[in-house]
Structure 1
Protein backbone atom coordinates (compact mmCIF):
# COMPACT_ATOMS: atom_id res chain seq x y z
CA UNK A 1 0.00 0.00 0.00
CA UNK A 2 2.99 2.30 0.45
CA UNK A 3 3.42 2.41 -3.33
CA UNK A 4 -0.01 3.95 -3.93
CA UNK A 5 0.00 7.05 -6.08
CA UNK A 6 -3.21 8.02 -7.89
CA UNK A 7 -1.26 10.27 -10.25
CA UNK A 8 1.19 7.59 -11.39
CA UNK A 9 0.88 5.31 -14.38
CA UNK A 10 3.73 3.08 -13.19
CA UNK A 11 2.63 -0.58 -12.93
CA UNK A 12 3.56 -0.90 -9.24
CA UNK A 13 1.58 2.23 -8.30
CA UNK A 14 -1.42 1.13 -10.38
CA UNK A 15 -1.34 -2.27 -8.69
CA UNK A 16 -1.17 -0.66 -5.24
CA UNK A 17 -4.03 1.70 -6.09
CA UNK A 18 -6.20 -1.15 -7.35
CA UNK A 19 -5.38 -3.42 -4.40
CA UNK A 20 -6.29 -0.57 -2.04
CA UNK A 21 -9.72 -0.29 -3.66
CA UNK A 22 -10.21 -4.08 -3.74
CA UNK A 23 -12.35 -4.65 -0.65
CA UNK A 24 -11.42 -8.34 -0.53
CA UNK A 25 -7.67 -7.93 -0.96
CA UNK A 26 -5.89 -9.47 2.05
CA UNK A 27 -4.18 -6.23 3.10
CA UNK A 28 -2.83 -7.60 6.39
CA UNK A 29 -1.55 -10.87 4.92
CA UNK A 30 2.23 -11.22 4.72
CA UNK A 31 2.47 -14.71 3.26
CA UNK A 32 3.57 -14.52 -0.37
CA UNK A 33 1.76 -17.72 -1.39
CA UNK A 34 -1.59 -16.63 0.07
CA UNK A 35 -1.44 -13.21 -1.57
CA UNK A 36 -0.30 -14.69 -4.86
CA UNK A 37 -3.13 -17.20 -4.85
CA UNK A 38 -5.68 -14.48 -4.10
CA UNK A 39 -4.39 -12.37 -6.98
CA UNK A 40 -4.33 -15.26 -9.44
CA UNK A 41 -7.96 -16.07 -8.65
CA UNK A 42 -9.44 -12.63 -8.07
CA UNK A 43 -7.43 -9.72 -9.42
CA UNK A 44 -8.52 -8.93 -12.94
CA UNK A 45 -6.87 -5.56 -12.45
CA UNK A 46 -3.38 -7.13 -12.37
CA UNK A 47 -2.21 -7.63 -15.97
CA UNK A 48 0.83 -9.70 -14.96
CA UNK A 49 1.90 -11.56 -11.84
CA UNK A 50 5.40 -10.26 -12.54
CA UNK A 51 4.24 -6.89 -11.25
CA UNK A 52 3.20 -8.48 -7.96
CA UNK A 53 6.48 -10.39 -7.73
CA UNK A 54 8.48 -7.17 -8.16
CA UNK A 55 6.33 -5.21 -5.70
CA UNK A 56 6.54 -8.00 -3.12
CA UNK A 57 10.34 -8.09 -3.46
CA UNK A 58 10.45 -4.31 -2.83
CA UNK A 59 8.19 -4.78 0.19
CA UNK A 60 10.46 -7.47 1.65
CA UNK A 61 13.53 -5.27 1.09
CA UNK A 62 11.88 -2.38 2.94
CA UNK A 63 10.69 -4.72 5.69
CA UNK A 64 14.27 -5.93 6.31
CA UNK A 65 15.65 -2.42 6.85
Structure 2
Protein backbone atom coordinates (compact mmCIF):
# COMPACT_ATOMS: atom_id res chain seq x y z
CA UNK A 1 0.00 0.00 0.00
CA UNK A 2 2.42 2.66 -1.15
CA UNK A 3 -0.34 4.95 -2.34
CA UNK A 4 -3.28 6.30 -0.40
CA UNK A 5 -6.75 4.82 -0.76
CA UNK A 6 -7.80 7.98 -2.57
CA UNK A 7 -5.17 7.53 -5.27
CA UNK A 8 -6.05 3.84 -5.60
CA UNK A 9 -9.75 4.65 -6.00
CA UNK A 10 -9.11 7.24 -8.71
CA UNK A 11 -8.42 4.37 -11.11
CA UNK A 12 -12.18 3.65 -11.10
CA UNK A 13 -13.22 7.15 -12.21
CA UNK A 14 -14.85 8.06 -15.46
CA UNK A 15 -16.31 4.77 -16.67
CA UNK A 16 -18.73 5.11 -19.58
CA UNK A 17 -20.95 2.45 -18.00
CA UNK A 18 -20.93 3.60 -14.39
CA UNK A 19 -20.94 1.05 -11.60
CA UNK A 20 -20.83 1.41 -7.81
CA UNK A 21 -17.02 1.75 -7.76
CA UNK A 22 -16.93 4.42 -10.44
CA UNK A 23 -19.78 6.41 -8.87
CA UNK A 24 -17.98 6.25 -5.51
CA UNK A 25 -14.69 7.36 -7.08
CA UNK A 26 -16.29 10.21 -9.01
CA UNK A 27 -18.06 11.52 -5.88
CA UNK A 28 -14.88 11.09 -3.84
CA UNK A 29 -12.92 13.12 -6.41
CA UNK A 30 -15.40 15.99 -6.15
CA UNK A 31 -15.38 15.93 -2.33
CA UNK A 32 -12.55 18.32 -1.44
CA UNK A 33 -12.68 17.39 2.24
CA UNK A 34 -12.11 13.66 1.63
CA UNK A 35 -8.99 12.48 3.54
CA UNK A 36 -6.87 12.12 0.41
CA UNK A 37 -3.64 11.04 2.05
CA UNK A 38 -5.24 8.47 4.37
CA UNK A 39 -4.20 4.83 4.30
CA UNK A 40 -6.12 3.96 7.47
CA UNK A 41 -9.42 2.07 7.24
CA UNK A 42 -10.86 3.59 10.43
CA UNK A 43 -10.13 7.17 9.44
CA UNK A 44 -11.75 6.83 6.03
CA UNK A 45 -14.68 4.79 7.32
CA UNK A 46 -15.39 7.37 10.04
CA UNK A 47 -15.31 10.16 7.46
CA UNK A 48 -17.75 8.31 5.22
CA UNK A 49 -20.16 7.63 8.07
CA UNK A 50 -20.09 11.21 9.35
CA UNK A 51 -19.59 13.54 6.40
CA UNK A 52 -19.58 11.93 2.98
CA UNK A 53 -21.98 12.33 0.09
CA UNK A 54 -24.69 9.61 -0.01
CA UNK A 55 -23.20 8.18 -3.22
CA UNK A 56 -20.11 7.19 -1.22
CA UNK A 57 -21.71 4.22 0.50
CA UNK A 58 -19.80 2.44 3.26
CA UNK A 59 -20.68 -0.94 1.71
CA UNK A 60 -18.98 0.08 -1.55
CA UNK A 61 -16.00 1.42 0.40
CA UNK A 62 -15.66 -1.95 2.14
CA UNK A 63 -15.49 -3.75 -1.21
CA UNK A 64 -13.01 -1.25 -2.60
CA UNK A 65 -10.90 -1.49 0.56
CA UNK A 66 -10.63 -5.25 0.04
CA UNK A 67 -9.19 -4.57 -3.42
CA UNK A 68 -6.89 -1.88 -2.04
CA UNK A 69 -5.29 -4.05 0.62
CA UNK A 70 -4.58 -6.79 -1.93
CA UNK A 71 -2.04 -4.49 -3.63
TM-score (norm 1): 0.82
Whole-angstrom distance in 1 between the partners of 2:38 and 2:56? 21
In structure 1, the gaps of 5 or more residues are: none
Relative contact order, higher structure (CA 8 A, sep 6+)? 2
In structure 2, the gaps of 5 or more residues are: 1-9
Runs of 4+ aligned structure 1 residues displaced above 3 Å come to none
Aligned pair count reads 62
